[in-house]
Amino acid sequence: MVFSAGPSVSPSVLDMARPVLELNQLKLRYPGSDSWTLDGLDLSLEAGETLALVGSSGCGKSTVARAVMQLLPAGTICEGGLKLTGQDPRQLNRPALRRLRGQAAGLVFQDPMTRLNPLMPVGEHLLDTLKAHRSSTSAQWRKTRAFDLLERVGIGAQRFRAYPHELSGGMRQRLAIALAIALEPPLLIADEPTTSLDVAVAGQVMAELSGLCRELGSALLLISHDLAMASRWCERMAMLDGGRRVEEGPSRQLLTQPQSSVGKRLVASALAREGGQSPERPSSEPVLRVDAMRCWHGIGGMPWSPVWLKAVDDVSFELLAGESLGVVGASGCGKSTLCRALMGLNSIRGGQVHLLGQNLLRLRGPSLRVARRAIQMVFQDPLACLNPALSVADAIADPLLIHGLCSKAAARERARNLLEQVGLSPADQFQDRFPKQLSGGQQQRVAIARALALEPKVLICDESVSMLDAEVQAEVLDLLRQLQRKLGLAMIFVTHDLAVASGFCHRVIVLDRGHIVEEGPGDRIFQKPQAEISRTLVDACPRLPR
């Protein structure tokens, strides 16, 4: 999204003699809601300050960003004091509001692709923004400025004509930062900017963002569910609960001596996930055996001499019934390719995959279809994998109907039982809701229930808790443990976070450039990593102050 505007905002609009952001008893209620999402919130941010806004899912963190930028649906009630660089954005007409958005505050979204036009090259995004707000400048000045911005955020001017899909997740987030700082605003708002990135890339992105804020003298409002990451990059922290500020102070003090009940709860949940001890590996038979798997993608060259991207190369492992195997690595190491290959979504160019004693690569047609019921997947973003037009019960029942395993009535009853099984009880309160009417943790529980509908023996969890706050993350991990014990599930748990893997998984493999470079108990790898990439991931893991 690019905010088009006319002339630059006048100096009187950007009143830097007062706080950059002032919220005074701010109340906000979305249309159709009976309760206040923000309920008397007080907050102030001075120029150059860094403030982390933290709290449980649904506490109102992201709503603060939407209120400040006035990116709210029609019919939203927003009362109380709201000043951005001395101006109340609610009192401005649309052209003036667009100018204020671009020049007073820059917003970095959780998913940069929501702001990027897939049909527009990288450089054109910057030129479009600069032209909208700096229309009096020359085309050459704007192009030079765009080159400079790409260099400053670590993308490089040589990617000027690249398209967003040609950039990695980290690169796309850097482009989002470049767009946010293009007009050198006095306030930068970063809403969960590293959730979808591995810890190493997340550290690089946050270092870039923090460094640019210091260079520009801009204030940073970081919205995050990750307490350790927030404390690393922000001097001050405010904790929200029920749309109100319940605690505020220096980050270290708030995390080492929390005063509120929600603060104590979130800190305890965050501490529980930091480098826990791996559970003992079960004694059971293998349900999945992968031997020398190769997933190569052709990326050019000549027909007689092709160039291959060896996304997964000579990977071998066994997975026992009731075992959790962690798959860890940096972005681009082959984790997701491995998952998609096991699910039959990526072609396998070599090796063998035995599931319950059957070689999947030799099966065809109905036999393959039946065999693949035994392996199901839980994705990172549950909202993206659930049909928004289907109710919760229908979404869970859908796989049963697709495979023709039972009647509609029986499938719906099975869906109700699964809702109870994943902790969405009583089922009557959830079965007729739609995904958007659920919290992030509830959505992920529905996604897990859907994956369990076909009674799989192997469950692949691809970054299935990375988008959740520490408290909800702990709840979902505990749910997965309970289901594993009850159903005897074998799990492949894909994550970029060694701290989570070490406490949840019986065993961990570390991938780098398509190869397994380290294998063993997660706690041993977390405490004494041997491979270079393992050391990098451990060093990049933010820790809570002790």
In this model, does residue 358 exceed pLDDT 90?
Answer: yes
Helix axes 392-402, 408-421, angle to 10 degrees: 120
- The predicted pLDDT at position 71 comes to 92
Q: Which amino acid is at 129?
A: T
In this model, does residue 49 exceed pLDDT 50?
Answer: yes
CA dihedral 330, 331, 335, 336 (to 10 degrees): 160
Give the mean pLDDT of 344-366. 93
Give the mean pLDDT of 265-272. 86
- The predicted pLDDT at position 111 comes to 76
SS3 481: helix
Over the stretch 492-535, which tens digit does the pLDDT of each residue have?
A: 999 888 888 888 999 999 999 999 999 999 889 988 999 999 99
pLDDT band of 466, cuts 50, 70, 90: confident
pLDDT band of 3, cuts 50, 70, 90: very low
In this model, does residue 1 exceed pLDDT 80?
Answer: no
- The predicted pLDDT at position 10 comes to 40
Give the mean pLDDT of 130-142. 92
- The predicted pLDDT at position 275 comes to 63
Over the stretch 50-64, which tens digit does the pLDDT of each residue have?
A: 999 999 877 899 899
Rounded to whole angstroms, how far apart are CA atoms 462 and 538? 20
- The predicted pLDDT at position 11 comes to 37
Over the stretch 293-303, which tens digit does the pLDDT of each residue have?
A: 999 888 777 77
Q: How many CA atoms lie within 13 A of 184 on its CB side?
A: 10
From the centroid of its chain, how far is CA 154? 21
Over the stretch 480-494, which tens digit does the pLDDT of each residue have?
A: 999 999 999 999 999
pLDDT band of 47, cuts 50, 70, 90: very high
In this model, does residue 119 exceed pLDDT 70?
Answer: yes
In this model, does residue 144 exceed pLDDT 80?
Answer: yes
Q: Which structure tokens are listed for 192?
A: 């969960």
End-to-end CA distance of the chain: 41
In this model, does residue 104 exceed pLDDT 90?
Answer: yes
Q: Residue with structure tokens 């002032």? A: 22
Give the mean pLDDT of 324-349. 90
pLDDT band of 7, cuts 50, 70, 90: very low
Rounded to whole angstroms, how far apart are CA atoms 528 and 530? 6
Give the mean pLDDT of 18-28. 94
- The predicted pLDDT at position 39 comes to 95
- The predicted pLDDT at position 13 comes to 42
The mean of the pLDDT values for the chain is 89
Rounded to whole angstroms, how far apart are CA atoms 44 and 25? 11
- The predicted pLDDT at position 33 comes to 83
- The predicted pLDDT at position 17 comes to 60
pLDDT band of 382, cuts 50, 70, 90: confident
- The predicted pLDDT at position 465 comes to 85
- The predicted pLDDT at position 305 comes to 80
Give the mean pLDDT of 444-455. 94
> Mind spelling out the 3-state secondary structure of 253-299?
HHHHCCCCHHHHHHHHHHHHCCCCCCCCCCCCCEEEEEEEEEEEEEE
Largest CA distance in the chain: 73
In this model, does residue 383 exceed pLDDT 90?
Answer: no
- The predicted pLDDT at position 306 comes to 82
Q: Residue with structure tokens 């075992």? A: 323
- The predicted pLDDT at position 304 comes to 80
The mean-pLDDT minimum among 60-74, 177-191, 200-214 falls in 200-214
Q: Sheet of 490-495: strands edge to edge?
A: 375-378, 458-462, 490-495, 324-328, 507-512, 515-520
SS3 223: strand
Determine phi and psi for 497, rounding to 5 degrees.
-105, 105
Tell me how long the chain is: 546
DSSP-assigned letter for residue 88: -
